[in-house]
Every structure is written in structure tokens, then in C-alpha cells.
A and B are shown apart, each in its own frame.
Chain A
Amino acid sequence: MTKRPTSFTLGGRTYSPAASLLLATPFILVMILAFLLPLFTLLHESLSVPKFNLDNYARVFDQEVYLRVMLRTLRISALVTIAALLLGYPLAWLIARSRGLLLGLLLIAVLLPLWTSVLVRTYAWLVLLQRNGVVNQILTALGLVDAPVQFLYTEGAVVLAMSHVLLPFMVLPLYAALRGIPDDYMRAAQVLGAGGFAAFRHVVLPLTLPGVASGCLMVFLLALGFFVTPALVGGPQQMMLATLVQQQVTELLDWPFSGAIIGVLLAFVLCLVLIFNRLIRLDRFVGQV
């Protein structure tokens, strides 16, 4: 969509403004009922109950418990983004170089996990990392450990499982960016005397920065609000923002305070999207010059 800013008029205009609005009406109704009205109601609640002020928001930043959860959420999300970038870049690079059957197989390897239920993939990590799970079975059989190691309910396990679940969201934009670079560029750099790494650093890497940016943004945003995996693989000590909100809602029925936490999350997410959007556009501009 961003690539063709004027293309909405490109295809000719079959429908009049009135007909267009009519076609868009079902979409508007769904978005009002399941998107605009709920978000508006929740944020309104956070600002107006019990009184119209910012008390609920002050509470989010006042108490150390909540601050700690927010900082942990930021830290885990950053770690997951870095891990996904380090793991995803080589894979995206390999896919971009592949042709034929190998290309198909590698793409399936990325798309199958992407479309497999998050619960299935989280469950797989629980089976692997349990006290009597597969990893401990192997470690014990090899004589590497005497007693089973506690993997679950640690921050490491949360970061590992989340990186695995979110990895496809990093690989796909990186692959799109790498595929867009003509082979000649790399060859030209090498003819001009750049070694493999120098050619990568000065030619390939700068050209893929928009892909890096959008992959990182995608993974970081998804990680910030991630519910399923941290709730199941982590324990109370690894509680992230989504689980905190869930507890406030299902156990304490504290809607106004939950709304304030969500409000903080939304403000942060919106800022990130705006900043990144500008960054990505700038990079594109530089890349074209």
C-alpha cells in the first residue's frame, strides 16, 4: 500500500462516491462494533471512573509492582527482537539465495509455523522444557546433569519460546528486502575489491535496513502485548503486561485500572509506529538516491 501512494485512482473508477460508501458500510459497522466502540469505551472508563481525572494512570506509574512488570515487558520484548533478528537474518538470506525446490521447502518452513496455532507451538515448548520433558530426558541420558534442570518459569524460557513463535514475522520482511537486491550489486562490490563481509556490510546491509526496521517493529510490537506464551511458559516472576491486565480484569474486575494499563500500552505502541514509519520512509528515500 505504501509503495503506490497514488494507486487508489490507478484502476479507473467504476463506482460513484455513494456506491463506494455503500460498499464500505459493512466494513464500517464491523469496525465500529469490534474495534472503535470497545477501545473508546475502555479508555473512557480509565479516564472517568471513579472520577474524571488521571488517577488510574498515576497508579500505573506510582506502584513499584506495576513499574517492574512494564520494565520487564520492555526488556523481554527487546531481547526477543534481538534474538529474532540474529536468527532471522541468516535464514532470510538463505531463502533469498535459493531457487526451485529448496526455495519452496524453506518458505514452507517459515509459513507453516506462522500459520500454526500459537498454542500448539507454546505447548511444544512446555513438552520440551518440563522437568521430565524431552530436553531433560536427553541431558540425563547423556549424563550431562544429575537432576532435571528447571527450565520452565524462567525468563530464559519465555525469551526462547517467544523468539521461536515470533521468528516468522522477522524472516518475511527481511526476505522481501533481500530478494529486492539484484545479484549484480554484490558482484559489482566484489569486483571493486570488497571482500564478502565488506560487500555485505556496505551494500547488502544498508539496502535491507527498511526490512530490518519493519521486521523489528513487527516483532517488538507483538512481543509487548503477547499473552499466551508468557502466561504459560513463564511464572509469576516473569509476569508480563498482558498477564497483569488479565489478572486485573478476570480476578479483580478492575476495569478502569486495566483500561489505564492498556492506555499506556497503546500510547507507547502508537509513538513507536509513528517514529518507525518515518524511519522506514527515510531509509527508502536514501536507498533510492
Chain B
Amino acid sequence: MRRRRTSSGIMTVSAVAYAVTVFLLLPTILIIPMSFGPDRYLHFPPNGFTLHWYAEFFADPEWVDSTLFSLRIAVLTMIVATVVGTLVSLALVRGRLPGKSLFELLVVGPVIVPNIALAIAMFLVFDRLRLTGTTVGFVVAHTALALPFVIFTLLASLYRFDADLERAALSCGAGPLRAFFHVTLPLIAPGVVSAALFAFIISFDEPVISFFISDLDHKSLPRKMFEDIDYNISPTLAAVATMLTGLTLLALTAGHFLRRGMSRS
């Protein structure tokens, strides 16, 4: 009697959990077939098949420019955040850093402070420094946002491997640089790849700070999407949404296989 009640309880909770999974995925997935529909008003199921909205995206210089701008910022942010993050992680784990608890506080800062607060504050200062709408402004802002995730990922990698390996290299006569590039970096490479991918996605999809530090000629893709959603919901957005979902899936899969390949070799 008791066993049957238990298992029916488990079945109910499982059913709820599967329903939540559907709720989590369905809205984004529904957009994909609708982006191929011919009507100006999105229909489900779509009344036909066309690539018209994709063509419209690539024919519109505003969409293309903002996408290229965001790509450039995301690639630069990825490089800067990964390098800066790796250096400070090494100092935190392998160094004798004065005032370490202050650093720990600073690392979690951008996670705890709401994005809107950072965005308004950056808008004020970047406006005075004439950094709004500039590549430098965007890359610095997005690097600050990405750093906590980069550093957490790298700290986890650095803790996981044996520091004796590094010390062995040092005592065998390798300098700190040589020890880093020949021993440490290969061992933490999977973590570095994850961190870099995180930084790329965080920058490429970042909507709040981009909203405020964009200017008329230099808009990030999220800022352009925000305007279009607010003023004219056209099916081109469905095409953009579909491509972005595909890109995210690609990045997650690439990260998974890269990490697996590296930890094997």
C-alpha cells in the first residue's frame, strides 16, 4: 500500500518536471518553424515555407552592421576577458596576493550589483569620457561583466590539477613563464576554452549595458533587437531569434566536444 503511494507520488512529480521542461523549451522552439512562414503575422503552424525573412535580415544594412559590431566586440571581449581572467586567477591560486579578500569581493561584484545599476553608472561615466558607442567602451564594459564567470571557471580548473606538477617543472629549471606555457596552460586548457566561450556569449547577447552605451551609429545586435521588438515586431526578428538560438546550441556543443577532446589528450 505504502509502496504504491510512493511510486504514484514519484510519477506525479516526474510528470510535473517533464511539463516544466516543455515550458522551459517550448516558447523558443516554437519560433523556429514560424520564422519560415510567409505571413507578416507569425502563424503556428506556418502557412508555407519561405526564406524571405532571412533574406530581409541580410539585405538590411542596419541588421548586418549591428551584427558585425556585436561580433567584433564579442571576439575582443572573449580575448581580453580570458587573458585578464587567467592572469588574476593565477595570482589568486598560485600567488601571494596582498589583500586577497578584497579581490574576492571585487570578483563577485558584477554578479551581485544589478545590471541596470552598472549600466546607468557606466552610461554616466562613459558619456563624460566619450566612450559611448566605441569599441573600447563596449569591450571594457563587457569584460567586467564576463570576468566573474571566466574567473570562477578558471579557479575550478586550477584547483583541480596538482600544483606539484608545476613545482616539479620549476625545480627542474623551468622559469615561471615556461612552466606556465608548458605545464599549467595545457592542463587547464579545457577550463580556458569554457571561460572563453562564456565570455563570447555574455558579450554577444548582453542587452542592458548595450542599451545605454550604444549610440545612433554604433548599435550592438541586442540593442537593435530591443528597438525592433519595441516598435515594429516584424518576422525578421523570428529569423534573428532562430539564428541566435542555433548559435547558442553550436557554442554549447562546441564547448562540450572541445573540453572532452582536450581532457582526453
Interface residues of A (CB under 8 A from B): 1, 4, 7-8, 10-17, 19-21, 23-24, 26-27, 30-31, 33-35, 37-39, 41-42, 45, 87-88, 90-91, 93-95, 106, 108-113, 115-128, 130, 132-134, 137, 164, 167-168, 190, 195-197, 221-222, 224-228, 231-232, 241-242, 245-246, 249-250, 255, 258-259, 262, 265-266, 269-270, 273
Residues of A within 8 A of B230 (CB): 231-232
Query: Which residues 130-188 of B sit at the A interface, judged by CB distance below 8 A?
Result: 140-141, 143-144, 147, 152, 155, 158-159, 163-164, 166-167, 170, 176, 179
On whether the beta carbons of A39 and B117 are closer than 8 Å, the reply is yes
CB distance from B236 to the nearest CB of A (A): 11
| Contact status A116-B244, CB under 8 Å | yes
- A109 near B25 (CB under 8 angstroms)? yes
Interface hits, B1-57 → A, CB 8 Å: 2, 5-6, 9-10, 13-14, 16-18, 20-21, 23-25, 27-28, 30-31, 34, 41-44
B contact residues around A20 at 8 Å (CB): 91, 95-98
Complex CA–CA separation, A33 to B9 (angstroms): 54
- Are B229 and A232 in contact (CB-based, < 8 A)? yes
Report 27 cross-chain contacts, Cβ distance below 8 Å, ordered by A residue.
Answer: A1-B104, A10-B159, A12-B167, A13-B94, A14-B95, A15-B94, A15-B176, A21-B98, A23-B90, A24-B92, A30-B147, A34-B118, A35-B110, A35-B113, A38-B121, A42-B124, A91-B20, A93-B17, A115-B252, A117-B241, A120-B244, A123-B237, A124-B31, A125-B27, A127-B31, A130-B233, A228-B208
Asked, given contacts A1-B155, A20-B96, A38-B118, whether A266 binds B113 with beta carbons under 8 Å apart, the answer is: yes
Contacting A196 at CB < 8 Å: which of B9, B97, B117, B122? B9
Residues B25 and A258 in contact, CB atoms below 8 Å apart: no
**B residues near A13, Cβ cutoff 8 Å:** 94-96
A24-B88, A34-B141, A116-B248 as given contacts; A16 in contact with B237, CB under 8 Å:
no
| Contacting residue for B2 out of A7, A195, A259, A262, CB 8 A | A195
Q: Which residue of A110, A112, A123 is within 8 Å of B31 (Cβ)?
A: A123
A269 contact from B83, B113, B170, Cβ within 8 A:
B113
Interface of B is mostly: helix
CA distance A71 to B255 in the complex (A): 42
Assess whether B248 is in contact with A94, with CB atoms less than 8 Å apart. no
The one of B114, B122, B207, B211 that contacts A38, using a Cβ cutoff of 8 Å: B122
Q: How far is the CA of A42 from the CA of B252 in the complex (A)?
A: 37
**Smallest CB gap from B164: residue in A:** A12
Chain B residues closer than 8 Å to A113, beta-carbon distance: 24-25, 28
Name the residue of chain A whose CB is nearest to the CB of B180.
Answer: A14
**B96/A16 in contact, CB under 8 A:** yes
Q: Give B101's nearest chain A residue, CB to CB.
A: A8
Q: Is the CB of A90 within 8 A of B13?
A: yes
Known: A38-B121, A115-B252, A123-B229. A245 touches B44 (CB 8 A): no
